[in-house]
Structure 1
Amino acid sequence: MAGVSTADPVPPLPPAIAVWFETRGWRVRRHQLEMLEKARAGRHALLVADTGAGKTLAGFLPTLCDFAGDTPPGEGLHTLYVSPLKALAQDVKRNLLTPIAEMGLAVRVETRSGDTPSDRKKRQRERPPHILLTTPESLSLLLSYPESADLFAGLRRIVIDEVHAFATDKRGDLLALSMARLQTLAPGATRAALSATLANPRDFQEWLAPQAGDTGEIVAADLVLGEVGAEPEVEILLPIEERIPWGGHAGRWAVPQLYQAILANRTTLVFTNTRFLAEFIFQCLWDVNEDHLPIGIHHGSLSTEARRKVEEAMARGELRALVCTASLDLGIDWGDIDLVVQMGAPKGSSRLLQRIGRAGHRLDVPSRAVLVPGNRFEFLEAMAAKDAVDEGQRDGEPFRPGSLDVLAQHVMACACAGPFQEDALLAEVRGALAYSWVDETTFQRVLNFVADGGYALKAYDRFKRIVRDKSGTWRLSHPSQAQRHRMNAGIIVDSEMLTVRFRNGRSLGKVEERFAAQLSPGDTFFFAGMSLEVEGVKDMDVTVRAAKKSATIPSYGGLRLPLTTHLATRVQAMLADRAGWGRFPDDVREWLEMQDHRSQLPSPGELLVESFPHGGKHYTAYYTFEGWNANQSLGMLITRRMEDRGLLPGGFVANDYTLAVWGLKPVTDPAPLLSPDILTHEFTEWVTESYLLRRAFREVAVISGLVERQHPGQKKTGKQVTFSTDLIYDVLRKYEPDHVLIEAAWADARSRMTDVGRIAELLERSERELVHVTLDRVSPLAVPVMTMIGREAVPQGAVDDELLLEAEGLIAAAMRPDEAWEGD
């Protein structure tokens, strides 16, 4: 948690801390001192520093100095630490206890999460530790107790770790509202946020600082930049004898080389982008593990016990390799990792840097990483990510207005803590930047919803949670409402699996709710080796029948990480930079040169669309570079529009870079299919008819507290929750379509579920710079997405895309010189 050995004198610090640094041969780093100075001056501060730079110690140094001074603080909560992961809080506690013990400080440190026993939680409210390590959800619950005002009255410092991981989502909304509450309870507390990877520090500075209320002034925390560490060493792995695959994303071709790398290093961390891929690569490594090396696996679907067992084995240095997902992206300190491997494209430079930082974990030692591209587009993406890392460029998710369902949950938490005045709470809420936009009308709608569920539901007593007395004070309708809130509050709503079954009840298996949410009656998709037509989606079932036509919608498993706009722009720039192709492998360079000869390459700011025949069908490839989610949504919309125009669409496939749509009639002009009104007509119709809005409503209904997952002594099943929310959804859609939760569900459907913002940017681009090329056969650039057609007929990972029946013919057609081409 500290710095490098040096002969420099230790700066003025309390003797116990100064001696501790001297004993270890460390110096206090510049950014650690700056964070101390900001705290002493009462300034809020954001620290952006490389992994291994001692960020955690920088965050806690003002606290340790307070307790090591001549007049240490007395009993009571002094510092609140908030992290996105319970495991990270446990790791930080372990790393804090050692220096506290070695310095001889009388500081009690405890964690608080959903795993903390109820008796300890009760004791923490009555006799809090000096330092409490928690999560946004647990902090919100702690603020819901009447004694929270006394508990937090003496709070001096708030430390938010890995702030990039959650500030821009709903967990960040909840934390922002909790900090606004703390600003009222402990106005003198200073805030500090820590991160290694921020593209837009100014936005996070504004998010971190309390807002100026009615003046509308946007204030910002101070920015502290960490000392620059050793540059990471990033290598892109290439096949030794084979060519880079055209399609696929698993990178299985690299398993023999990956195994040799594991043999050559003490400990290797292998990152994958999905849980399925983690399981697949783990099994591939075991298949070649002739030396019986201890290799583990870690992802969010494993049990808590299984994850902890692996984490403890890693901490003890007992594993040679660990295959994992984003579950280990964040700052758990395993300093003996020699190498990080990224299987498949990293999808973002900040995410890549975060993962690279797991290796070495020291500022003066370069982190080593190997990127394994699954296909040729992923090679370009890996190159773009490597260039961004080399240039120090970051990317990340933008901030958006705070969600109303989270605000409703917070209002209920405040009511549980005690009666409140409407005007005072609104002013407090607007102290959070995410909610500075909330006006009196919007806040009144939220209050009315919490009070009785809204106009269409107010006749039902079970929705009456708070009441306003004659003096205008809001309070709980009954004391039991507090227990109900604490049992059900939270932000994370687990995704359900829906059963695919025939009308006679025969089950074919399960699909993710994320996929099922896009389906409408009449849609066809491939599953269990059959082409199926959707009859309906209700409760937890997708009812189907055998389709009379081929499937139009691909079915994929696993949540996909989005390709960032930053990397997408870099990849397009690389395609346009012909002079830079010399650094590419021969097969990639030949691929691009043939594309340039036969068609065109998409330039930055341009939308290239290609149309060509293949296998008796007419294909159109849209090179969007907007990510899989946006392309998947656009595919649904375009096929609907093609159907209306009599173009007889047959289906579509999508990856992060390209959307390929096919039909029985050619698309002679793609512009009408891409007109912006598709987002006001087809989009609204599709979202309303599909399961998307219902799924979004279920999440906001649970988060807002309208539908409860747990009651004393019992817990609702996912099916019961879905049934309840579907009934309420139907009532509100019919009688109160402008209900605050319908509005919140639409916001989620537009942003998280469909990436409509990126689709809108794409449509705007198409109006300015649409280039349509008509070809006599498939183009080289279209081959990677075309190899995906039919992939759903086989288990994922069972075969490489190179071995699919269509692949060889596609590649031959795309790469054959014009004079050798004789037609389809």
Structure 2
Amino acid sequence: MTQKELFTIAESWFQQQQWKSFPFQKQSWKAFLQGKNGLLNAPTGSGKTYSLWVPIVLNYIKDNPDYQTKHKKGLKAIWITPLRALSQEIKQATERFAEDLNTQLTIGIRTGDTSQKERAAQKRSMPDLLITTPESLQLLLASKRYDKTFKDCTAIIIDEWHELLGTKRGVQIELALSRLKTVSSKLRIWGISATIGNLEQAREVLLGHQSDALQNSVLIKANIKKKIKVKSIIPKEMETFPWRGHLGIHLLDEVVPIIKRSKTTLLFTNTRSQCEIWFQKILQKYPEFAGEMAMHHGSINKETRLWVEQAIRNESLKAVVCTSSLDLGVDFAPVETIIQIGGPKGVARFLQRAGRSGHQPGKTSVIYFLPTHAIELIEASALQQAVKHNTVEDRIPYLNSYDVLIQYLTTLAVSDGFYPKEIYHEIKSTFCYQAISEDDWRWILNFITIGSQSLQSYDEYKKVEILQDGLFKVNNRGIAMRHRLQIGTIVSDAVLTVKYLKGGYIGSIEEWFISKLKPGDVFTFAGRNLELVRIKEMKVLVRKSSKKTSKVPSWMGGRLTLTSQMSELLRKELYKASSKTDEKKSLELKALSHIFQKQQEESIVPGSDEFLIETFKTREGYHAIFYPFEGRFVHEALGSLLAYRISLLFPISFSLAFNDYGFELLSDQEIDMQQVIDNNLFATDHMHNDLQKSLNATEMARRKFRDIAVISGMVFTGYPDKMLKSKHLQSSSQLLFNVFRDFESKNLLYQQSFIETFEHQLEEGRLQKALERIENQSIVWKSCKKATPFSFPIITDRLREKLSSEKLEDRIKKMVALLSKK
């Protein structure tokens, strides 16, 4: 069958659906049928699934002319999705095309939610297309004779590649692909990516550094301009001294008419706790929404989440308050409107969420931005610019993740074993391990066979045996079982299940939150007020409570930081605010004019060539506030660095507070700020060493090492229903960390914990750039009589850690009254 005839089959199917294929879809079909690999860049809701599933089916038809009468069983294609929630969506779309063409192709799903019975059936007979996750793919590589399973596979599609790139799950994919390329000679590798800046690099990471697959590949961009309307909810009355969290809920009455006007609205919050609060508050004030409104976040049980997703499709819900759990790919045609509560901290995340509405080709996405404090309106203004100029973040790939490599080699040893010579070349062809040396490779092989140098006397670290012919193999069934249970790179805090005393399962919650509660305490979870009865094993037993006041759970991953692109856009908007002319100012900036005016009275609104420092005294002590506008992670590092450098000039101790706009050093004695400026304490010289000393980098690396120890299998997290408590995990990994620090500082995993701390947690590269920028700006130091509008959110953030929300509100009202006095 010729390409033209194959295309006719696809085109006529599209016509039956009353669709028209896009040029990018045809380009993908053509490239795939020519045997090429590739990366497809297309916006959400533009028909990405059919751009790659169609050519997989056409290729099968071409190779099997009598496909309607004879069916050759076996795995032909794999579709990797980062989110289990998307699997059903992909299955329905792919089945529709396969069934309409009478291909007899079967579609199966294999994720953490797949039952044991279903997995066993798949083992006996694999579906033609398998929709799975990075972790489940690794589990297949850990099964005996996996090469037979994959040998006839012709395609592997990595969906939402931008979500996996720059994570260790992405590294897992790189390793799996390096093996599958060898096992299956006909394999074509394709990635699908929506919002991402570094597309060329994304393709190289996916297909392998300088590999044949990369040479025979294409990058296809969908030339579809997704129309996005960004509307800010600007409060009618704006406070002069803004603070986080307070304004958001006050705008609740502005949100409800938007919900009522739309068919379905998704309200995106940045954290699960914020999600819980908004859900409760809307229902308290507008009880008529009961039954028409739901909540969706990753800790709510699977059945409820699936019910919510289905209810959105059926148009039986008016609104859903959600977190990033609904960020990706789920196709909700009825969703008309998105409301983003608080700054999304990144352009890509904002565009992704905007794309949830009008999730069909040609439809306009409408997204409202609701600030949680007034100054966040600058972020809204910056996002308007991002949408206008199509600015998106890069995703920075991981390099030399030895913990993931150790896990992967153990996976291969658990299945059929591996020969190091053969695997070394495959690994070196990946982007992540392109620079791995023979010495590092030998160290890793020693590590999995005899444990590291300082652990050689402990048998539990000798997992892999070397057989006579040089095959590396795991022969111990206990080791194999424990390894399979722990495959994956997402290490979260120990999670406890929340259940009613009488048995109903509600969801899961992190141990560190529950450990702060005592029996009788009431907390809000899954939209209900629950009283803690007791904790038994890994279960939190609760009963319903009618108490009005409750604690809202917070999750460890709750604090997002501004991305570098977002910070840059934010600074540009702020610099506009400092200019005297009105011409280029957005509605948002104009709405903030009284705040800028008050800021100018006490201090300045910095321009592009200025770096602002403010100092003032209150009853708490002496405040010094610095404004790099670089995001909270950079400010945490920069604040510690500066505090350390000041302490070398004069003996003084500080407490540090920071948000996305700046950081505060608070002390009980005055800093000689002129000395700080004259001694050039913002210099980049000796930055790395000073950072290590200032931050207690060893302590941060020790916490980072916990994840590395779990991923590399040095620490076992426990069996299902008997998971180890996080404090046990922490103490086991700390013990190993201390052993390596004292006796084996060249240990690659020990060194990795420091590299990851600096590169990923402290964003050392961004810190360096921020300091270079400050060195080229003129430093403006303003000695103020009292707190300024810019400093207020930072001060109140620090108080939040100490005070309950009622006390905080009272305290802030008093502070505002005091500051507003003429």
CA contact (8 A) 2:312 2:335 kept: no
For 2:615, the equivalent position in structure 1 comes to 611
Following TM superposition, by how much is the alpha carbon of 1:426 offset from its aligned partner in structure 2, in angstroms? 1.2
CA RMSD of aligned residues (A): 3.0
Q: What does 1:749-788 correspond to in 2, within 5 Å?
A: 749-769=757-777, 771-777=779-785, 778-788=787-797
Structure 1 residues 701-710 or 93-102, which shifts more? Answer: 93-102
Q: 1:54 & 1:650 partners in 2: Cα distance?
A: 54
Q: What does 1:344-383 correspond to in 2, within 5 Å?
A: 344-383=342-381
For 1:806, the equivalent position in structure 2 comes to 815
For 2:631, the equivalent position in structure 1 comes to 627
For 2:659, the equivalent position in structure 1 comes to 655
SS in 1 for 2:702: helix
For 1:222, the equivalent position in structure 2 comes to 218
Equivalent in 17, 20, 27 of residue 27 of structure 1: 20
The alpha-carbon distance between structure 1 residues 603 and 395, as it changes in their structure 2 partners (threshold 3 A), is: farther
Letter in 2 for 1:655: N
For 2:436, the equivalent position in structure 1 comes to 438
Letter in 2 for 1:129: P
Structure 1 residues 680-689 or 388-397, which shifts more? Answer: 680-689
Letter in 2 for 1:280: I
SS in 1 for 2:570: helix
Q: What does 1:403-482 correspond to in 2, within 5 Å?
A: 403-469=401-467, 471-476=469-474, 478-482=476-480
For 2:596, the equivalent position in structure 1 comes to 592
Equivalent in 260, 263, 280 of residue 263 of structure 1: 260
For 1:273, the equivalent position in structure 2 comes to 270
Letter in 2 for 1:143: L
For 1:719, the equivalent position in structure 2 comes to 727
Structure 1 residues 338-347 or 438-447, which shifts more? Answer: 438-447
Following TM superposition, by how much is the alpha carbon of 1:665 offset from its aligned partner in structure 2, in angstroms? 1.8
The alpha-carbon distance between structure 1 residues 603 and 146, as it changes in their structure 2 partners (threshold 3 A), is: farther
The alpha-carbon distance between structure 1 residues 433 and 136, as it changes in their structure 2 partners (threshold 3 A), is: same
Structure 1 residues 278-287 or 455-464, which shifts more? Answer: 278-287
Structure 1 residues 271-280 or 742-751, which shifts more? Answer: 742-751
Following TM superposition, by how much is the alpha carbon of 1:95 offset from its aligned partner in structure 2, in angstroms? 2.5
For 1:152, the equivalent position in structure 2 comes to 150
Q: Which runs of 5+ in 1 are unaligned?
A: 1-9, 499-509, 517-539, 541-554, 817-824
SS in 1 for 2:138: helix
SS in 1 for 2:251: helix
Q: 1:379 & 1:453 partners in 2: Cα distance?
A: 54
Following TM superposition, by how much is the alpha carbon of 1:180 offset from its aligned partner in structure 2, in angstroms? 0.8
- Determine whether 1:206 maps to 2:204: yes
The alpha-carbon distance between structure 1 residues 582 and 218, as it changes in their structure 2 partners (threshold 3 A), is: closer
For 2:338, the equivalent position in structure 1 comes to 340
Following TM superposition, by how much is the alpha carbon of 1:511 offset from its aligned partner in structure 2, in angstroms? 10
CA contact (8 A) 1:276 1:558 kept: no
The alpha-carbon distance between structure 1 residues 429 and 254, as it changes in their structure 2 partners (threshold 3 A), is: same
Q: Could you list the per-position Cα deviations for residues 93-127 of structure 1 after superposition, in whole angstroms to 9, with x for gaps in the alignment?
A: 12322333233221100011122223432332332
Letter in 2 for 1:613: K
Letter in 2 for 1:265: S
- Determine whether 1:60 maps to 2:53: yes
SS in 1 for 2:338: strand
- Determine whether 1:572 maps to 2:576: no
Equivalent in 170, 175, 178 of residue 177 of structure 1: 175
SS in 2 for 1:732: helix
The alpha-carbon distance between structure 1 residues 387 and 730, as it changes in their structure 2 partners (threshold 3 A), is: same
CA contact (8 A) 1:272 1:325 kept: yes
For 1:139, the equivalent position in structure 2 comes to 137
Following TM superposition, by how much is the alpha carbon of 1:219 offset from its aligned partner in structure 2, in angstroms? 5.0
Following TM superposition, by how much is the alpha carbon of 1:755 offset from its aligned partner in structure 2, in angstroms? 2.8
SS in 2 for 1:433: coil
SS in 2 for 1:660: strand
Following TM superposition, by how much is the alpha carbon of 1:230 offset from its aligned partner in structure 2, in angstroms? 4.6
The alpha-carbon distance between structure 1 residues 221 and 247, as it changes in their structure 2 partners (threshold 3 A), is: farther
- Determine whether 1:400 maps to 2:398: yes
CA contact (8 A) 2:162 2:193 kept: yes
Q: Which runs of 5+ in 2 are unaligned?
A: 497-508, 516-537, 539-553
Following TM superposition, by how much is the alpha carbon of 1:168 offset from its aligned partner in structure 2, in angstroms? 1.1
CA contact (8 A) 2:174 2:208 kept: no
The alpha-carbon distance between structure 1 residues 393 and 106, as it changes in their structure 2 partners (threshold 3 A), is: same
Following TM superposition, by how much is the alpha carbon of 1:773 offset from its aligned partner in structure 2, in angstroms? 1.0
For 2:249, the equivalent position in structure 1 comes to 252
Structure 1 residues 403-412 or 442-451, which shifts more? Answer: 442-451
Equivalent in 218, 228, 232 of residue 232 of structure 1: 228
Q: 1:185 & 1:616 partners in 2: Cα distance?
A: 66
Count of aligned positions = 753
CA contact (8 A) 2:627 2:663 kept: yes
CA contact (8 A) 1:112 1:133 kept: yes
SS in 2 for 1:183: helix
For 1:694, the equivalent position in structure 2 comes to 702
Following TM superposition, by how much is the alpha carbon of 1:618 offset from its aligned partner in structure 2, in angstroms? 2.2
Q: 1:606 & 1:399 partners in 2: Cα distance?
A: 33
CA contact (8 A) 2:156 2:190 kept: yes
Q: 2:694 & 2:364 partners in 1: Cα distance?
A: 50
Structure 1 residues 470-479 or 49-58, which shifts more? Answer: 470-479
CA contact (8 A) 2:464 2:472 kept: yes
Letter in 1 for 2:257: Q
Q: Could you list the per-position Cα deviations for residues 452-497 of structure 1 after superposition, in whole angstroms to 9, with x for gaps in the alignment?
A: 2200001111100113345543222535432221122111111259
CA contact (8 A) 1:605 1:765 kept: no
SS in 2 for 1:368: strand
The alpha-carbon distance between structure 1 residues 716 and 26, as it changes in their structure 2 partners (threshold 3 A), is: same
Residue identity (%): 27
Q: Could you list the per-position Cα deviations for residues 272-295 of structure 1 after superposition, in whole angstroms to 9, with x for gaps in the alignment?
A: 111111111111211221423411
CA contact (8 A) 1:496 1:512 kept: yes
Q: 2:510 & 2:634 partners in 1: Cα distance?
A: 20
Structure 1 residues 634-643 or 164-173, which shifts more? Answer: 634-643
